[in-house]
Amino acid sequence: MPEVNTFSIVAYDPTTGELGIAVASKVLGVGCIVPWGQAGRGAIATQSAANTAYGPEGLELLKEKSAEEVVQLLTSGDEGRAIRQLGIVDAQGRAASFTGDQCNAWAGHIVGEHFTVQGNLLAGEKVVQDMAARYREASQKGEGELADWLMAALVAGDDAGGDRRGKQSAALMVYRQGAGYGGNDRYIDLRVDDHEQPVTELARLLEVHKSFFAGAHRRVKASAMQSND
């Protein structure tokens, strides 16, 4: 199976309580592999020879453990940790990441306040640096919502060269209690499985989502405004 060499961001919005993930890669259907999350629990990105067990096991551990503790528990028990990469943010906004010392270069991560970015087999360190800088800028301005900030970070990573093998797929997930269709917690669940410009296409789909589910977006904005009052 192909390794999921990719770049991603997981983040938490302290105003709304939303948790989210944005990811892009030169692999088919990255949205079916890397992102895992649950409202009120956490968001997880597992990549680079991805151990998909990190998803469900990590979410279970997040019931009682912090992001940092879960990263430690998952990787310490994995004999393949040297080729793994993992990013987690918990429901309190604590973020942690791990990059195995045998991940394909360039590989690394940046942990910030309420977010972490990580990537491997990248065009260079600038990919994660630009992602982190763009996320901080977007979130501090407070324009839009978590999905917009995640998308801005992903675009920045793509513009900086992204996965050095090329482009194929991307995904955006945002978890918010009761905000998804029928009352589930998948407020935003968008995937581009095979496209020449997957990040650009994902950004377009986010705008379609805002139009199609305009009422849900208005409620999220109203909730954020009330929290800021």
Question: Into how many domains does the chain fold?
Answer: 1
Question: How high is the pLDDT of residue 51?
Answer: 96
Which long-range contacts link 219-225 to residues 24+ away (Cβ below 8 Å)?
219/179, 220/16, 220/18, 220/145, 220/176, 220/179, 220/187, 221/145, 223/16, 224/13, 224/15, 224/16, 224/145
Specify the CATH number for the domain of residue 153: 3.60.20.10
- d(CA 187, CA 175) in angstroms, rounded, equals 5
Is 17 exposed, middle or buried, given 0-12, 13-18 or 19+ CB atoms closer than 10 A?
middle
* Tens of pLDDT, residues 25-37: 999 999 999 999 9
Residues 6+ apart with CB under 8 A from 100: 48, 75, 81, 82, 83, 84, 85
> Could you tell me the CA-to-CA distances from 33 to 8, 27, 50, 74, 183 in Å, in that order?
12, 10, 7, 17, 24
Residue 1, domain member (yes or no) = no
Helix (H, G, I), strand (E, B) or coil at 167: coil
Rg of the chain (C-alpha set): 16
Query: Do 93 and 68 contact (CB within 8 A), yes or no?
Result: no
Query: Do 213 and 189 contact (CB within 8 A), yes or no?
Result: no
Name the residue range of residue 87's domain. 6-228
Mind listing the pLDDT tens digit of every residue in the chain (229 residues)? 566 679 999 999 999 999 999 999 999 999 999 999 999 999 999 999 999 999 999 999 999 999 999 999 999 999 999 999 999 999 999 999 999 999 999 999 999 999 999 999 999 999 999 999 999 999 999 889 999 999 999 999 999 999 888 999 999 999 999 988 889 999 999 999 999 999 999 999 999 999 988 766 667 666 666 666 5
Question: How high is the pLDDT of residue 132?
Answer: 98
Residue 46, domain member (yes or no) = yes
Name the pTM for this structure. Answer: 0.93
